[in-house]
Chains A and B, each alone.
Chain A
Amino acid sequence: MEIYSEDMKKYFDSLQREINKAYEIAQKARSQGKDPSKEIEVPQATDMAGRVESLVGPKGVAERIRTLVKEYGKELAALKIVDEIIEGRFGKFESKEKLADQSVRTALAILTEGIVSAPLEGIADVKIKKNPDGTEYLAIYYAGPIRSSGGTAQALSVLVGDYVRKKLGLDRFKPTEEHIERYVEEIDLYHRAVTRLQYHPSADEVRLAVRNIPIEITGETTDNVEVSHRNVPGVETNYLRGGAILVIAEGVLQKAKKLIKYIDKMGIEGWEWLKESVEAKEKGKTENKKEKSTTNEKTEQYLEETKVKIKKGFYYELYEKFKANIAPNTKYTKEIIGGRPLFAEPSTNGGFRLRYGRSRVSGFATWSVNPAVMIMVDEFLAVGTQMKTERPGKGSIATPASTIEGPIVKLKDGSVVRVNDYYKALELKDQVDEILYLGDALIAFGDFVENNQTLLPANYVEEWWIQEFVEAVNKIYEVELRPFQENNKEMVEEAADYLDLDPDFLAKLLYDPLRTKPSIEEAVHLSRILRIPLHPYYTLYWNTLTVEELIRLQTALVNAIIEWDEYRGLKYARKLEISLQSLGNAKRYLELLGVEHKVEGDIVIVEYPWAAALLTPLTNLEKKLEFKEFYTPIDLINEISEIKLRDRGISWIGARMGRPEKAKERKMKPPVHVLFPIGLAGGNSRDIYKAAQEGKTSEVEIAHFKCTNCGHVDIFPRCPQCGSDAKLLYHCPKCGFESILDTTCPKCDIEMKAYKKRRINPSELLNQAMKNVGIYTLDKLKGVMGMSSAHKIPEPLEKGILRARNDVYVFKDGTIRFDATDAPITHFKPKEIGVSVERLQELGYTHDFEGKPLVSEDQILELKVQDIILSKEAGKYLVRVAKFIDDLLERFYGLPRFYNVEKMEDLIGHLVIGLAPHTSAGIIGRIIGFVDALVGYAHPYYHAAKRRNCDGDEDSVMLLLDALLNFSKYYLPEKRGGKMDAPLVVTTRLDPREVDSEVHNMDIARYYPLEFYNATYELKSPKELTGTIERVEDRLGKPEMYEGLKFTHDTDDIALGPKMSLYKQLGDMVDKVSRQLALAERIRAVNEHHVAETIINSHIVPDLRGNLRSFTRQEFRCVKCNTKYRRPPLSGKCTKCGGKIVLTVSKGAIEKYLPTAKMLVTKYSVIDYTRQRICLTEKDIKILFQNVFPETQRTLLALSHKDICERMIAKRTGRAVKNNGYLDELRENGKYKRAEKEQSTLKSQAPRSEKKEIKKPKKKKEGKKVISLEDFFS
């Protein structure tokens, strides 16, 4: 079956043509031999099979993988490939070990789609070792990067290892008791001393696993933490083996259930133990559950009994059910970082209002919010800012959607305004006194599926109302209308006739119900004749009030002066005026309802249409509301009012700010123009130019090449004397033997090295290089101190000169990168991305998403899967990169210029490689435009192809030709993990089936049907509705997977909103924290005291105490050569170079946050415990230096009675200063602590698991990581 449409095929073909062009040029350049390799080092792969072959080999395996995957599916194919490798189908291997190694890696690569670097870097070695009884077994050595493959693949690699073992006829691994206990200790130690394991297995589980896993899971040292089970025979290290620990705990044990499925599927024997253990566990659980359910039943019965007697309001019952089933999740509020505000407390009224849907730029772990929200939260939120969220997932980024509701704010003059418009928000932002309602968060159904989050009751919104409207019209008048599309004109006219509506308006309402709103009188009218709930726009937050408040409000309103009007026999209020006095407390009720009103003098005025929105549900004050038990205000209203209401504010979601958005060129630290070693000669900035100017020479380790023709030995891959090819010259570090053929010394039998120490003359080298490229002026040219690659081959200096000239910087692999926060986009408008209609047509965009021909800049187009929309920042940088590439082609390789760009628009249509950290496979993308936001917009598939979702991750793009010309494996650091984040292979064609499966859950419907909204009231699991709302998964394998995706909510502009989060513009911590708290005070859904307390406890105190602790245990270093010392040398100077010795933790670092902390404990009502902690820490810092700076000591102690700590001490030690009336004093006098302590103990005790979370020992600073006795005995 063809999986592309004609159009898609054209698209892919055009991409391929461009790719080929680039490869052709790069090949020409490379073949000149000026680079470490004459070949382009970024092979192309069209699919997973291709990537696997490129990444791990063996040669020719791709074809077989394609065939086998088609026939057997991915997992089985992996095993079949193992068979074939072992059978020798892909050539002979020198040993069984190598054979095993190759099989395991290839199989793991298949299982991980050939994207992540785990098969390369996560497996350090595969060995065949001997059991004590002399039998042979297989051992896999895991390394840290195995993490990147995810738990399931980790577990599968073990399964594959076992399969290989059997295939090779090896015996099983027979661990000794010592061995087993070593694992038990290691896993526990890792969990405590390094990082928390996602799954922390019990000792017995570990024992069971180690005893039964037929291969040895071992590995190299990953963390400098020693174990107490030392020198276990066969275990090479006495330190933690992080890779192995992960594979056992988070792989085999955590994913046991999944693994069993594969065991069955792959038919691997000898794993019954795992099944049994899982079954035993399940049993335990179900028994528990049964017990629970019986008790539940009991209570239910009890409830039912009582239910019989009591009639409860519909919403009252719904709230009850909601509360019983879905508890607020406070996890994200446990940590609040200074300067990153809390936007809303968990599930708190007034926080983010849940709105189901997916905008053009949301879904896939991204929320859309109204851009006005971003303004109202003081621009802490910008397009692309990460939020840590309560649910459905843990994080998301924010993108704008102008068709959803913005905040409702109370101004300083007491007026209340709904702010749905970005520009209105800008106008009002300085007048805001309180943010009553934060506004909508548009969250995709797909995210609920992905996280298996029970659906929260939907809040009443326009997209729901229109469907109820349509349904009612269909039922009552038998006219078939359809929402969200253009309807048959006659039908619309007929319906309009029945409904007394203007047909044009009705058509518009149906087509775009989010932007089109009926007037209040029409809304009431429709609600009355169709018996549908009042339009959500005019529905107020009735249930924010209590019933009593509602009644009091109605009572108070009787005193109002009301202007009445009529519409089709319907009485409605045009205007309402009431004095503040007669309103009294009810003024607050009006605010809480979210009804717009003005305050003029002492008169509150509610104008059209809000007067009617307020009074209609209150029956225009004609019927008095009577209190009823078990009724919410809406229930009460619905009982007496003809116009029914649905609750628009049931489900609220909390969030805080995470990382700020980012779009910035990647610079190493310090920044580098060229990967060329300069040693210490270049000074701190490693400036080669400076070294050359000063005439310094430098001794560096550098690769040597020997000319194949004249035998000249130099540092260039092409002979500078005769221009012939030169080859790497290896030499033996022991006996000095040199060879261009052998890599092992024939005499000493040790590995030879291609690099040697050599004195270089920067001035000479630079002059030559500058001459070569015809550039004679230079400001600076930053190199590196030394190289960390295996052969230490440097880049040609010429590249650096041209980079410096164009002001671009190189990454460790030779490429130039631009990093940006990932953001999803499925549809765009030409005007948003600054591209003309004509240019887009050239790029293949001929029709808009509804199939109409593209003629206008305002039409919405569906994004092609490999097209990307970059930040303007990226555009500016890439223009310089393109100029560099052109210079390079012209001046260094002597080839014609390729890009010829002057402005960023010229980059449109050019190709880039997108590449994410921890992966080794890039994907080709095409630039089609730029936006003024600090994100990298691309199709969700494109992000998924890089194994990213959009919850705040970031990754990089590079120009395709840059990668082809300048990337070389020879530059990559030799250390573990060095191959990560390097374009070892590039995918040319995106296949949605081969991308991260998370994106398969993204919903692609135009709207969510009524059935969905009804289901949310039943708190259904999203899985029950997967058939109801179309997701990517439903289209996989069909041409439709590429095209015809839909979204539910439009936005005016995908870049509307602040360009940069306020967080990035604030200076020091005091500043950040005060702004954050000022916001907290303003948001109704946030308790600022809680925020202050949490900032102190989760950010400031750990920082203060941590720095204090590390100060007194710090390392010292040499300013000049950076040698580290555990303690200062007695000579007072660096013993290596005589340089000055300096601290690594300064006194300032300890004191840094103290002013912030003092400010917080002074201004906010934190518990005494926290206040005392801060005061003690201050004292600790002062006293630490008592013998170093006695003078400062004295001045520091010059006490001020205003100081919070001094006041506290004075009070507590009886030297009370009695000046009353200060709230501070009240709070500090320590009499409330018990109550408050109770409050927090109870709080933390409720969810038991969370309490554990708190106890987690903080991540230790670098250095020795051994469990401290401090922890033991505290």
Chain B
Amino acid sequence: MDELVRGLISNNYLITPPAYFLLSEYYKKEFTLPELIKFAKARGTFIIDEITAEEFLKSKEIITAPSHLEKFLSTKEKPKEAEEVQERTIRKLEETAYEVSKTPSGPIEAKSISTDMEEVIETSFPSEESEVITEPRGLEETTLPKSVEEVEEISTEIEEPQEITETFESESNGEENGENGEIKRKIIFEEYGVPIVAEEEEIPEEKKAYSVYDDFKVSPKEGFEFLAKSIKSEFNIKFDVRKVKITPPKAKSGTTKEGEIIVKVYENYFKSRLKKMRKILRENPEVSGVIDIGKLSYINPEGDITIIGLINSKRETRNGYMFEVEDNTGIIKVFIGRDKEDYAKAFEIVPDSVIAFKGRYSNRGIFFADRIYLPDVPLYKKEKPPLEEKVYAVLISDIHVGSNKFCEKAFMKFIEWLNGHVNSKAEEEIVSRIKYLIIAGDVVDGIGIYPGQYNELNIPDIFDQYEALANLLSNVPEHITMFIGPGNHDAARTALPQPEFYKEYAKPLYELKNAIIISNPAVIDLHGREFLIVHGRGIEDIVSYIPNMSHHHPVKPMLELLKLRHVAPTFGAKVPIAPDSEDLLVIESVPDLVQMGHVHVLDYQIYRGVFLINSGTWQAQTEFQKMVNIVPTPAKVPIIDVETARLRMIVDFTKWCDV
């Protein structure tokens, strides 16, 4: 059914067929739905009949002369019989047109209808008063049952045809000429619920004004040999938020207030972080002789000692940095002077990270640090046994399906490429060995994520966004296993960690045969290699807190996060943290690869054997990014050699990204 009609119906307005044909060609070009509704409202009518329509067009200065009126004056009397027949044909026509035609009705069809219409209109002229009174009765009686019949044909739901008849009769009594538009109007006006529902039921979920890519179908290239098919897949979700059982603190008594529990939960959250981090830090042989902060004042230790604590605050002074550090036993001020070797590390410390300081405790209650130890990763990594066969993983993120800047063409090209539609021998080799596709969040653009998003969406509907994505991803060859995690644009918990997509909204994703939904963050073990997959909002805080960080080189802040061994260390800044009793955002084991997204720039680096990569985006530069001069790198796809967890190549689909 046509948008205009639907729009009107949803606003409780109806349109007669002649009016529809009159208006449809101008709709959206010359006028908008609200304008029409406003106009109708001002005239106090629920029905857009042809007079209203012409008047409206006239008022919009779309047409200058209301043509029907001329005819009014010239041809007054027309045989009623003909008129009635005409009317019915039109209705039939209209319905078939609505039901069947997906494309706008062809010019020929339109023409024939419009001629019909004109004739019909002619009859609706209110001729001389005296005569009129009797005449419509005849008309009405013949017309009425017909229209009811029609309705019945369409819908089985109508239960009270009598009532319709009744109302109709009383309503049109002694009125001017019953113009056909008016007759229909009355039926619907009095009982409009029924016929409308009927119509709705009749017409199946049909084409939307936007595409959800349901007609996008790619099949593996014929004759293409997918070596990956024969490689045994070896994967294991090593860490997923959903697998961790978090026990909420028990309420002390039945009357304990919600707020108290929440405070306790957040307190436990940080205690859990401290505990996990201490374990990591103690793995560093240099971190030794650790003393609780609370003991410092009465042990009064001499010589170098180490403390480990959460950073409460950080302040630059004339001579260095002053920190406030807290552990379970107390709080202390820690100072590191400019002259110290580790002074530069002070820049890398963000609030709420856990750090070890080595130095001396002064009686004035200040700890003078010489050394700073970030949790960090070990200098060297154990070699992992080689794989028998080369196998590749594709890393992507930030697809933003639904955005009007989503590079759909490029993404489709990418899917085709995965299906073996390649350009070179080299690519062929790679594609044939791709076994995994990892998507690190922001898979759709979401709704209501930022003010004014509505105007920047092609698909302003969260269900359809996931439907669209699933339709695209359903074309990923079956032998490729997909891992899909949520990001801040997705229908998922807004605060970190994000366990999964909301099943009821992202159902199509869950129904994909070869997809595995993962949490944010998550660790996937592929053939014995650990891949840490994070959407990466933590990057934001690092960029704003540590000097010389920028969104243009996201791998730098990513590295800082790795060094701090936490996905989003600072509480109370930009990243929302959920009230959970356990901190699941700590990077507990050292990964072989860290993938993040979120900032839309492809960037990578190796640090102490760990491969860090930001996987870019599939969304072209948005208006906002343009304003603040952020240049994303859309449609560049990194391919990872699983064995080494290193970049094998980058496939560039940018040239198809022309939104």
Contacts and interface: CB of A to CB of B under 8 A. Distances in A.
A423 interface: no
B3 A1235 contact: yes
A858 B173 CA distance: 57
A1189 B262 CA distance: 9
> In this complex, which of A585, A1128, A1180, A1229 has the most chain B Cβ atoms within 10 angstroms of its Cβ?
A1128
B194 A1184 contact: no
Interface stretch (B27-35, B371-379, B427-435, B518-526): B27-35
A1114 interface: yes
A1235 B208 CA distance: 10
Nearest to B182: A585
B574 A1274 contact: no
B32 A1112 contact: no
Interface in B1-25: 1, 3-4, 6-7, 9-12
A1172 B248 CA distance: 30
B507 A1105 contact: no
Contacts of A1234: 3, 208-210
Contacts of B289: none
A1177 B505 CA distance: 13
Given A349-B42, A1183-B502, A1234-B3, A1269 B539 contact: yes
Given A1130-B270, A1142-B263, A1273-B599, A1187 B581 contact: yes
Nearest to A1230: B461
A1188 B261 contact: yes
21 contacts: A548-B55, A579-B174, A584-B172, A629-B65, A1108-B494, A1109-B494, A1114-B572, A1126-B313, A1127-B266, A1129-B267, A1129-B326, A1129-B331, A1130-B328, A1187-B248, A1229-B200, A1232-B10, A1257-B450, A1264-B573, A1266-B574, A1270-B488, A1274-B450
B454 A1169 contact: yes
Contacts of A1241: 455
B534 interface: no
Given A1126-B572, A1130-B267, A1176-B462, A1272 B32 contact: no
Interface stretch (A100-108, A125-133, A518-526, A549-557): A549-557
Interface stretch (A62-70, A968-976, A1220-1228): A1220-1228
B106 interface: no
B578 A1112 contact: yes
B121 interface: no
A403 B540 CA distance: 62
B592 interface: no
A1179 B460 contact: no
A1128 B28 CA distance: 55
B270 A1127 contact: yes
B123 to A, nearest CB: 16
B34 A1243 contact: yes
A1108 B488 CA distance: 14
Contacts of B507: 1213
B449 A1274 contact: yes
Interface of B: 1, 3-4, 6-7, 9-12, 28, 32-34, 38, 41-45, 51, 55, 64-66, 69, 72-73, 126, 129, 133, 157, 170-176, 193-194, 196-197, 200-201, 205, 208-210, 246, 248, 258-267, 270-271, 274, 310, 312-313, 326-328, 331, 351-352, 398, 442, 447-455, 457, 460-464, 488-489, 491, 493-495, 499, 502, 504-505, 507, 537, 539-540, 543-544, 547, 551, 571-581, 598-600, 622-625, 628, 630
Contacts of A325: none
Interface in A518-545: 544-545
A1258 B126 CA distance: 56
B493 A1184 contact: yes
Contacts of B398: 1273
Contacts of A1273: 398, 442, 598-600, 625, 630
B43 A549 contact: yes
A1238 B33 contact: yes
A1258 B453 CA distance: 13
Contact of B259 (A1142, A1184, A1264, A1267): A1142
Contacts of A1116: 263, 266
Given A1101-B448, A1113-B574, A1255-B452, A627 B72 contact: yes
Contacts of B449: 1270, 1274
B32 A1143 contact: no
Contacts of A1194: none
B73 to A, nearest CB: 7
Q: When A and B form their complex, which 10 residue pairs have the shortest distance between CB atoms, in order from nearest?
A: A1234-B209, A1235-B7, A1112-B576, A1269-B540, A1173-B448, A1235-B3, A1232-B10, A1274-B450, A1239-B33, A1112-B495
Contact of A1239 (B7, B173, B599): B7
B32 A1126 contact: no
B31 to A, nearest CB: 9
A971 B455 CA distance: 52
Contacts of B537: 1269-1270
A1256 B451 contact: yes
A1237 interface: yes
A660 B611 CA distance: 60
B263 A1141 contact: yes
Contacts of A1131: 328
Nearest to B65: A629
Given A629-B66, A1112-B494, A1274-B449, 13 more contacts: A230-B547, A555-B126, A581-B174, A584-B175, A627-B73, A1126-B352, A1169-B457, A1176-B447, A1190-B248, A1227-B10, A1230-B463, A1254-B451, A1270-B537
A1243 B32 contact: yes
A306 B61 CA distance: 13
Contact of A1173 (B274, B447, B572, B622): B447
B72 A1274 contact: no
B447 A1169 contact: yes
B145 to A, nearest CB: 22
A44 interface: no
A1212 interface: yes
A322 to B, nearest CB: 13
A1089 B454 CA distance: 18
Contact of B580 (A546, A1187, A1264): A1187
A1237 B493 contact: no
Contact of A1184 (B171, B494, B539): B494
Nearest to B456: A1274
A1274 B573 contact: no
A1147 B258 CA distance: 8
Contacts of A226: 544
Nearest to B198: A1220
Interface in A1118-1171: 1126-1132, 1135, 1141-1143, 1146-1148, 1165, 1167-1169
A558 interface: yes
A1115 B331 contact: no
A1126 B248 CA distance: 22
B11 A1165 contact: yes
B562 to A, nearest CB: 18
Given A1102-B451, A1130-B310, A1184-B493, A1176 B262 contact: no
A1266 B572 CA distance: 12
A1130 B274 contact: yes
Contacts of B447: 1169, 1172-1173, 1176
A1263 interface: yes
A301 interface: no
A195 to B, nearest CB: 15
A1236 B7 contact: yes
Nearest to A548: B51
A1184 B10 contact: no
Interface in A306-338: 306
A116 B42 CA distance: 49
B200 A1226 contact: yes
B6 A1270 contact: no
Nearest to B194: A1221
A1240 interface: yes
Interface in A1065-1108: 1087, 1089, 1101-1102, 1105, 1108
